[in-house]
Amino acid sequence: MTTAQPGIFALGTTDHLYVELDLVEGAQPRQLAAALAALVGPETTIRGVSVVVGLRPELWAEVAPGAAPADAADFGEPVVGLRGYRMPATQHDAWLWIAGGARDVVFDAGTSSLRSLAPLARAATEVGGWLYRHDRDLTGFVDGTENPSQLEAYDAAVVQEGPGAGSSVVLVQQWRHSTEDFAALPTGAQERIIGRTLADSVELDEDDMPRDSHVKRTVLERDGVELPIFRRNVAYGGVTDHGTMFVGFSVEQYRLAEMLRRMAGADGVRDALTRYTTPLTGAYYVVPSVEALRGLLE
């Protein structure tokens, strides 16, 4: 029996910290993986935070061959879409996500974690996140309407058996919003960009749904069956510079990569929402199972 890191599904946390890390010269990948493993455990919930760790897919494959989803790979090249539109590739070696119910406990846990990792890795990026109006993003629309239910989320996010059982692939992207430009649009125009109503998040009728709406571009199907991912997005930033931290977990990397390809317009139709949001980063990480992490400590 393999178990996913519980923080993936720890809903309701209001404050978040995301740190991407790079190995320092002389440090070994297995040392870093073991140090990250030591951060995940029951004691983190006692301190009032949840901790999720991930490693660059090719680095994790070096540490634990066969312990990753079969198609997991580094975000090595930008996603190029319609008329040269690009989503950047900013892959780092590891990812740390700390979430809690208050900023002080998240800050203290983050400080302690980075101190313990300092001999092995340096922080390459740091972003703080927070919930906006309970379940909305900074466009004002409900975020995660397409998320699977709690009962179905595990199947969408976590490998059940075979290579990488208990693990997940996570896509981490920081998207800056052009909030004033989007807010200046009439409500109807905003709804056609998103593909849902603003007030109650009801999906538009098929006849009214534009081909380039965000819903139309991000809902994936294979042989008529929808392929869900599990999103844990939050807002980041302040009044003058802000946006969305996209954090999407999947049982396979294909779903995440295909979603980005469609959003970028690689098939000829670019997601209208990308005209009001700008991707600043892009990286994939394997989020190993609890048992795989525990094995590094034994």
Inside any domain, residue 80: yes
Amino acid code (one letter) for 207? D
Inside any domain, residue 260: yes
Mean pLDDT confidence for 249-275: 98
Amino acid code (one letter) for 168? S
User: Cα–Cα distance between 220 and 37 in angstroms, integer?
Assistant: 33
Which residues, 6+ apart, have CB-to-CB distance to 26 below 8 Å?
A: none
Give the domain CATH number at 170.
3.30.70.1030
Mean pLDDT confidence for 49-57: 97
Inside any domain, residue 39: yes
Inside any domain, residue 292: yes
Cβ atoms of residues 82 and 264 within 8 Å: yes
Cα dihedral angle (227, 177, 74, 215), rounded to 10 degrees? 10
What confidence tens digit (pLDDT) does each residue in 137-153 have?
999 999 988 899 988 99
- The SS3 call for residue 181 is helix
What confidence tens digit (pLDDT) does each residue in 174-205 have?
999 999 999 999 999 999 999 999 999 999 99
Cβ atoms of residues 15 and 106 within 8 Å: yes
Inside any domain, residue 196: yes
Cβ atoms of residues 86 and 264 within 8 Å: yes
Q: Give the Cβ contact number of residue 78 at 10 Å.
A: 16
Note the pLDDT of residue 39: 96
Note the pLDDT of residue 249: 98
Domain ranges, residue 290 = 6-297
Inside any domain, residue 41: yes
Mean model confidence pLDDT for the chain: 95
User: Cα–Cα distance between 66 and 63 in angstroms, integer?
Assistant: 10
Note the pLDDT of residue 144: 85
Inside any domain, residue 1: no
- The SS3 call for residue 176 is strand
What confidence tens digit (pLDDT) does each residue in 83-137 have?
999 999 999 999 999 999 999 999 999 999 999 999 999 999 999 999 999 899 9
Note the pLDDT of residue 45: 61
Inside any domain, residue 233: yes
Residue 47 has pLDDT above 80, yes or no: no
Number of domains in the chain: 1
Of the candidates 9, 285, 54, the one whose C-alpha atom is nearest the C-alpha of residue 155 is 9
User: Cα–Cα distance between 123 and 68 in angstroms, integer?
Assistant: 24
pTM > 0.85: yes
